[in-house]
Amino acid sequence: SQQGEEDPQALSIQEGENATMNCSYKTSINNLQWYRQNSGRGLVHLILIRSNEREKHSGRLRVTLDTSKKSSSLLITASRAADTASYFCATDRGGTSYGKLTFGQGTILTVHP
């Protein structure tokens, strides 16, 4: 399956700054999800946004979805050193493929204390 693109591939910021990551995808979707992965570890689910939603918030996270442009963004506000990780978007086409995710290439975020 084709994977989406994420940019930037790597992002380095100072603690307290905001971090924005973008994701583009190629097919129609049922929902789009964002995950965090610390080095060598499993995935942590951050947030899910459905195709009929445009924006969603969870704590310091804000996700937007533009289905016309097939793109999404993840904003982490007031970043912390503990936010250092790889971030992946993943799309779910739903229907009989529900749960079958196509992941983006990921953004490596480094937050300097």
Partner 1 sequence: GAVVSQHPSWVICKSGTSVKIECRSLDFQATTMFWYRQFPKQSLMLMATSNEGSKATYEQGVEKDKFLINHASLTLSTLTVTSAHPEDSSFYICSARSTGRSGELFFGEGSRLTVL
DSSP secondary structure string for all residues of 34-49: EEEE-TTS-EEEEEEE
Binding residue for partner 1, selected from 65, 85, 88, 93, defined by CB under 8 A: 88
Q: In one letter, which amino acid is 18?
A: N
CB of 113 to partner 1, least distance (A): 24
Choosing from 22, 50, 71, 103, the residue that interacts with partner 1 (CB under 8 A) is 103
What does the alpha-carbon distance between residue 63 and residue 53 come to, in Å, rounded to a whole number? 10
- Smallest gap from Cβ 97 to partner 1, in A, equals 8
DSSP type of residue 51: T
Q: Within 48-87, which residues bind partner 1 (CB under 8 A)?
A: none
How is residue 102 written in tokens? Answer: 């196509």
Q: Which residues bind partner 1 (CB under 8 A)?
A: 1, 3, 35, 40-43, 45, 88, 90, 98-106
